[in-house]
Amino acid sequence: MRFYKATAFLFPRSYERRILFICFGAVHVPLIACIVLQAVTGKWEVLTLVTLLVATLAGTAMGLAAIHALLAPIGRATGMLAAIQNGERIALVPQGGDDLVGRLLHGVATAANESATRIEQLSDVAEKDPLTGIRNRRGFLDSAKAALRGGRGGVIALIDVDHFKAINDDLGHAAGDRLLQVLAERIEHHIRRNDVAARWGGEEFAVLLPDTSIDDARLVLERLRAQIALDSGLGVADRAVTFSCGLATVPTFAQLEDATCRADAALYAAKGAGRNRVHIAHEPVR
């Protein structure tokens, strides 16, 4: 580290140029020694000096090119480490030999893999509901942004379990939690692969159905509602479980918040109309 710090004044911002400069000077030592010797002795051999000068310049050019190439993996490793620190994924990490550069590249590869694993774990924690294992509100919004990319429209459904407080009060919170887990499984199993389901909060779930008309979305949710009402495996003894649902069209992702408010209003209208039903929100005034 002493020599590294002592030579920092040469090129403070370029380690590569510092090495090239030192090597350039080292290669010219024989030529300088020859010139000094001939000057002291007074015996000038021009042909020898010219030959040595040409050989020195040629060797310098080849040496500098080789050193530049040998330092390239270090520059690449530095760039990859910066990308890892920024949370970016490294698609391909070059493999080196059993030398200093090879060990450096191996260390970068290890750091990249560990960083990717941590990012995935943190993403799962941040975007998944710990009780049901499906997306939470944040995960839903991230997935909805991708599903509605390019101006694709769809329908958002808000689902709320009817009389959930009574289930908690009569059967205990463990039974209520189990019901939410099973209901999340039923919803995920019922919807299509490109649909997005999430636990919206409490006993409320959200489903986004991209590229779907409001009538088709209503058929999907009506079938789910009927299946849940007849399902005897929801873990609440002999009590029937039903849900109310509000639907609203989503023209673009930018209008998702407004659509969610309209679906929420339709959900409460379904609750007020007797529960166990699906209501469609009024279209916004254009």
Q: What percent of the chain has pLDDT over 90?
A: 46
169 and 252 share one domain: yes
Task: Looking at the structure, tell me whether residues 179 and 95 fall in a common domain.
Answer: no
Q: pLDDT of 175-208, one tens digit each?
A: 999 999 999 999 999 999 899 999 999 999 999 9
Dump pLDDT digits (tens) for 64-80: 777 777 667 777 777 77
Regarding predicted confidence, which is higher, 127 or 216?
A: 216
Shared domain check, 164 and 115: no
Give the DSSP per-residue string, 17-73: HHHHHHHHHHHTHHHHHHHHHHHHHT---HHHHHHHHHHHHHHHHHHHHHHHHHHHH
Q: Classify the C-alpha dihedral 249-253-257-260 as positive or negative.
A: positive
Count of domains forming the chain: 2
Q: Which domain holds residue 23?
A: 2-120
Is pLDDT above 80 for 23? no
Res 271: pLDDT: 95
- pLDDT tens digits, 210-223: 999 999 999 999 99
Which of 120, 203, 204, 283 does the annotation list as catalytic? 203
Residues 144, 276 within the same domain: yes
Same domain, 64 and 18: yes
* Catalytic annotation present for 257: no
DSSP H or E stretch at residue 206? strand 204-210
Task: State the CATH number of the domain containing residue 228.
Answer: 3.30.70.270
Helices of type H across the chain: 2-6, 15-27, 29-41, 46-85, 100-127, 137-147, 164-171, 173-190, 214-230, 256-272
**Are 144 and 266 contained in the same domain?**
yes
Q: What pLDDT band is residue 34 in, cutting at 50, 70 and 90?
A: confident
233 and 149 within one domain: yes
| CA–CA distance, 174 with 188 (Å, rounded to integer) | 21
The reply to whether 216 and 112 lie within a common domain is: no
